[in-house]
Amino acid sequence: MAIQDKVIIITGASSGIGEATALMLAKHGAKLVLGARREERLSELCDTIRTADGTAVYQVCDVTKPEDNDALVSLAKHTYGRVDAIFLNAGLMPNSRLSALHADEWNAMIDVNLKGVLNGIKSVIPVFKEQHSGHVLATSSVAGLKAYPGGAVYGATKWALRDLMEVLRMESGLETNRIRTTTLYPAAIRSELLDTISDADSARDMQHIYDTYQIDPERIARAVLFAIDLPEDTDVSEITIGPTDQPW
Ligand code: NDP
């Protein structure tokens, strides 16, 4: 498979979609660099991958800090000599109505979900340009495609990813950098994401949706594998993916 020996960085690798993707890609022979803030989780995940004869290293990384993103990319280059793909997946979803004025949470979402992705792009693009190849993947959300009450700022950050990833795709084509882009738009996926909601009403509403519909993060991992595994001349730019029964 084309994924064998590819060097892939994953942010938000300590739980949920990132963790499931790390396990899936390692199983198919990728060499991984895993980043998140919770070191113990990353260490355990690397142990699990290595025990199954996979290849992975990790580094504590807060995506809101540009230097942490640089360090993650440097670790990949130093350890494996190149970077083939970066999955910019770290995110949080402290939903609430705008009238609740949870301004600190608005800022946290902008810092992690939007600026964190830009920080990752800034760190990796020079490597991709030098290599004349690379693949940027990012986790947006169905909230980046559809508006809903309680999801104004979360949706705004995910909506912004749609724009910037599409422009990255277009500019990479214009500049013939051969950088592929893939934006994922998942619906309800089992993870720790709901733990980030402090607003009681939003937490109750979202919990009900997830209890009713959620599917395993391994499904997203399969989509990531599919996009990376295709030949270098083929770009899967957008994937909307969620539970079959979820109507919105
Ligand atoms: P989880 O809460 O399980 O995972 C979120 C990950 O992001 C964790 O690994 C967390 O690690 C990491 N993270 C959060 N803040 C930071 C930070 N400042 N720096 C580095 N890492 C950070 O939820 P999911 O797996 O669901 O979330 C992954 C992505 O998927 C997010 O972008 C989310 O918005 C998106 N998504 C999820 C959906 C779902 O239904 N689950 C649906 C649509 C999109 P740590 O705390 O260790 O730093």
Span 161-178, average pLDDT = 96
Tokens encoding 65: 């800090």
Q: Which residues pair with 136 in a beta bridge?
A: 86, 181
The count of residues in the chain is 248
Q: Give the position, in ligand 1's atom list, of the atom nearest the Cα of 92.
A: 34
Span 119-132, average pLDDT = 98
Residue 63's alpha-carbon distances to 11, 129, 208, in angstroms, are 8, 22, 30
Cα 245 to middle of ligand 1, angstroms: 23
pLDDT value for 210? 97
Q: For ligand 1, say whether the CB of 11 is within 6 Å of any of its atoms.
A: yes
Distance CA 56, CA 10 (A): 11
Q: In the structure, what pLDDT confidence band is assigned to residue 56 with cuts at 50, 70 and 90? A: very high
Which one, of 121, 220, 224, lies nearest residue 179 by Cα? 121
pLDDT value for 147? 97
Span 51-78, average pLDDT = 98
Q: For ligand 1, say whether the CB of 141 is within 6 Å of any of its atoms.
A: yes
* In the chain, % of residues over pLDDT 70: 100
Q: In the structure, what pLDDT confidence band is assigned to residue 185 with cuts at 50, 70 and 90? A: very high
Cα 198 to middle of ligand 1, angstroms: 15
Q: Is the separation of the CB atoms in 17 and 191 below 8 Å? A: yes
Write the CB contacts of 67 (distance below 8 Å, at least 6 apart in sequence). Answer: none
- Whether the predicted pLDDT of 25 surpasses 70: yes
* In the chain, % of residues over pLDDT 90: 99
Span 185-208, average pLDDT = 97
DSSP per position, the chain = -TTTT-EEEEESTTSHHHHHHHHHHHHTT-EEEEEES-HHHHHHHHHHHHHTT-EEEEEE--TTSHHHHHHHHHHHHHHHS---EEEE---------GGG--HHHHHHHIIIIIIHHHHHHHHHHHHHHHHT-EEEEEE--GGGTS--TT-HHHHHHHHHHHHHHHHHHHHHHHTT--EEEEEEEE-SB-SSGGGG---HHHHHHHHHHHHHH-B-THHHHHHHHHHHHS-TT----EEEE--TT---
CA 15 to chain centre: 11
The structure's pTM equals: 0.98
Span 239-243, average pLDDT = 98
**pLDDT mean across residues, the chain:** 97
pLDDT value for 248? 76
Q: In the structure, what pLDDT confidence band is assigned to residue 30 with cuts at 50, 70 and 90? A: very high
| Burial (Cβ within 10 Å: 0-12, 13-18, ≥19) of residue 248 | exposed
Span 181-210, average pLDDT = 97
- Whether the predicted pLDDT of 1 surpasses 70: no
Span 78-82, average pLDDT = 98
Q: Which value, to the nearest 10 degrees, does the dihedral of the CA atoms of residues 198, 201, 203, 207 take?
A: 170
pLDDT value for 116? 98
Q: Which residues pair with 149 in a beta bridge?
A: none
For ligand 1, atom 12, name the residue with the nearest CA.
12
* Domains, the chain, with CATH or none: 7-240 (3.40.50.720)
**Catalytic positions, written as ranges:** 154
